[in-house]
Amino acid sequence: MKSENEKIPINDLEMAKKRTNKIMITDMAIEKVPLIRYREIPESEYLMLQELAREVLMISKNDNDSNEVALTYSLDYRNLLAEGKEFMGVALGDEHSVDPCMNTVAYHLITTSIQCVVIVLHNHPSLSKFSLEDVKFFLSNGTVKMMVVITNLGNISYLVKKENYNRKKAIEIFNNGVSMHNKGSNIHDYQKAVSHFLSICHEANIVYEDR
């Protein structure tokens, strides 16, 4: 039997994302970040998740020219704090992408924690809030329980794995979306590929919500 973190082939992406007209983050956008009742996540985490989403926007605004930022934290942070260990890592990206694992703390959390949450900032609000690269990361890392995307305007969407999450089914749906994307030729086809996954990911026991 394959372990959850063992690699399962996932189709490559052939067309890069293209974004223009970067939206600069404002204090109003940071204040606007809503309190979300995330499904499959304990209610005790909701306030912290709201604050961390705001923190991502503040870091991007103040330290990264409103470019992408990824914040990773362990849901076991209370025990890590009690042990004097780090429980959160932040990676800074460019206008088009960010790799959470660029940060050594985040990499350690993703590879060793039981469950992590990854919060990713995206810049252009006209694109689907999740990219195919985000979904690939979410599926490829078994410890990542939830991925949250927050736009530069303060809007939030998220994917979270249910207890009965079906990884093989999720990858099948993803690969079908990638095939659709690779047959296309423009950003509209890219969006259709993302939308395909998000519209039926519930079949793999993944929750998708856009707030």
Q: How far apart are the first and last CA of the chain?
A: 37
Regarding beta strands 156-161 and 144-151, do their DSSP bridges make them parallel or antiparallel, or are they unpaired? antiparallel
- Per-residue pLDDT band for 211 (boundaries 50, 70, 90) equals confident
pTM over 0.85: yes
Amino acid in position 181: H
Residue 180 has pLDDT above 50, yes or no: yes
Give the separation between CA 30 and CA 50, rounded to whole angstroms.
10
pLDDT in tens, 90-122: 999 988 888 999 999 999 999 998 888 998 877
Backbone angles phi and psi of 159, in degrees to 5: -120, 135
Residue 49 has pLDDT above 80, yes or no: yes
